[in-house]
Amino acid sequence: MVQPPGLMLSNPNLVCKLQKSLYVLNKLVDNGLLCYLPFSSSMVLIKQEHVIPFSLKKVLIFAPLTEINNLKAILDKTYKIKDLGDLNFFLGFEIAGKKNGISMNQRKYALDIISDACLLGCKHVSTPMISNTHLYQDDSPLFTDVFAYRRLIGRLIYLTNTRSDITFSVQQLAQFMAKPTITHHNVALRVLKYLKGSPSLGMFFPTNSTIQLKAYSVVIELLAQTLEDP
């Protein structure tokens, strides 16, 4: 297969090995309760409308307590798991459960980005972008390290999971991945200086709120189509 842009591998003749065909998912459904795809390093479980990703060492579950306990019993019987208790850190997210809700932020992830840019000692700014800033493909010199720019913007995109305040700025910067200029890189550094002032800012989900979070993925759509096929 042709390697995608940005992927640098020493062996260009590598191929992808299909572990399990998606069309056999309907055979894995156990009374409509649970189905899973075994992989060497990770797994995706599907419980009705819930997608539950987990690795060999961490588990992230959003479900009623009884279902959580049932799932842990099934996993322990098959894989001999260790219950690490309440979730505190997962994939760069810091999660804290309180009586009145759940708080979530990416403080450490944000500080790692700032540290990699050598900006931990900088003065923070009050806004991620100067007002009335309009980015375009200008005539300023091109930024020499294109891969560093792409990596920075990619990490900032992931940070927008809990930092919606930088979403617009990051979206603007992401339009210049092909040929970023020094101007674009300087604007990206300003976003980091803004994050320096409030790395712990995140989201809070109160227990008495009626807000419902909905997430969709291609896996769910394909699964539905597969189960509907005769």
pLDDT tops 60 at residue 72: yes
Determine how many CB atoms are found less than 10 A away from the CB of residue 192: 24
Confidence tier at 3 by pLDDT (50, 70, 90)? low
CB–CB of 106/93 below 8 Å?
A: yes
The residues with which 205 forms a beta bridge, in sequence order, are 102
Q: Sign of the C-alpha dihedral, residues 116, 120, 123, 127?
A: positive
Residue, of 198 and 70, whose pLDDT is higher: 198
The 8-class DSSP code of residue 196 comes to: H
| Average pLDDT over the chain, rounded to an integer | 73
pTM as predicted: 0.61
